[in-house]
Amino acid sequence: MVQAHLNPSPTFAFVSGAMPASSSAFMYTLGGGAQIPIGARFIVDAAYRYSRIAADSTPSASPLNTNGMTFGLGYRF
């Protein structure tokens, strides 16, 4: 029998330094996407997502913004 023990301590790095994982801030995400059928069995999809994590109360802090896009090709059985 093999056992594993984990002690994670995540940190997030961005341009202005490291943000400690123990803090919390307001976050929102907006996004949308579409699936387009191509023929009888194939579909193409695309999606976009924008997220923003608010900054803390210090004057030098700025919010963290992320943008993500995904594209896919699917086959229906």
pLDDT digits (tens, 9 = 90+) for 12-40: 666 665 655 566 778 899 999 999 999 99
**How big is the CA angle at 76 (ends 71 and 77), to the nearest 5 degrees?**
150
The pTM (predicted TM-score) of the whole model is: 0.59
Task: Name the phi and psi angles at 29, rounded to 5.
Answer: -135, 135
The yes-or-no verdict on residue 60 having pLDDT over 80 is: no
What is the predicted pLDDT for the residue at 10?
Answer: 72
Q: How does strand 11-14 pair with strand 17-20?
A: antiparallel
Give the residue-averaged pLDDT of 59-76: 88
